[in-house]
Amino acid sequence: MFFLVNKPKWVTSHDVVDKFKRVFHGEKIGHSGTLDPMATGLLIIAIKRESTKHLGKLLWMDKTYITEIDFSILTDTWDMDYYDTIQKFEIVENWIKKDNKTIKAPSLEEIKQKLDLLIPECELPLTMFSAKKRDGKKLYELARQWIDLKLKQVMKVNSYEILDYDFPKLKLKLDVGSWTYIRSIWYWLGQQFDLWWTLTMLHRESIWPFKLK
């Protein structure tokens, strides 16, 4: 038995599982892959062992996200979730002031040229604020100890669509492979233009072939 859940913002994936446990007492329950608390969208819940044993297959399926960043904000977590430090840069028309210098906003065509380089795959920096494990410890646990392993990983991008661009905000639709981190894509893009950035919105539309709609 499977349920397709539209996870609301600031609710953890574990919270969703707990709600199902209150209804299906004593049954084994799992989900299709963690969504950050600030993220919204598709979370697949499996009920009973004959269903949960298939969850591993879902982890390897392609996924579609709607995502937005702000080039004028920087946090230590690369998003607006559980950050310790935040810095806001001054925007003057289409210029941003950063480290005693001004940087011109990239054009839409320049952004497209960079994003094209990600298809079909590219080695990208791996955010330390993720649930990925290294030597038995989750990376975000190491990050909280100020440990940065400078990890990189080949990630797959099938396609992208620019939904809106009003500097300093950029909104994309991304179709990506498994174990591709959206924050890694944004981090790389910011580096291309000497800009910092922060993820302000993340919404999962599908885990192929399962869709919210």
- Residue numbers annotated as active site: 36
Distance CA 125, CA 140 (A): 15
How many CA atoms, within 13 angstroms, populate the side-chain half-sphere of residue 123?
Answer: 3
Contact 64, 173 (CB under 8 A): yes
Of 190, 197, 152, 156, the closest CA to residue 175 belongs to 156
Name every residue whose Cβ is closer than 8 Å to that of residue 98 and which is 6 or more positions away in sequence: 89, 194, 195, 196
Of 192, 184, 185, the closest CA to residue 160 belongs to 185
Which H or E element spans position 111? helix 108-116
Distance CA 208, CA 57 (A): 11
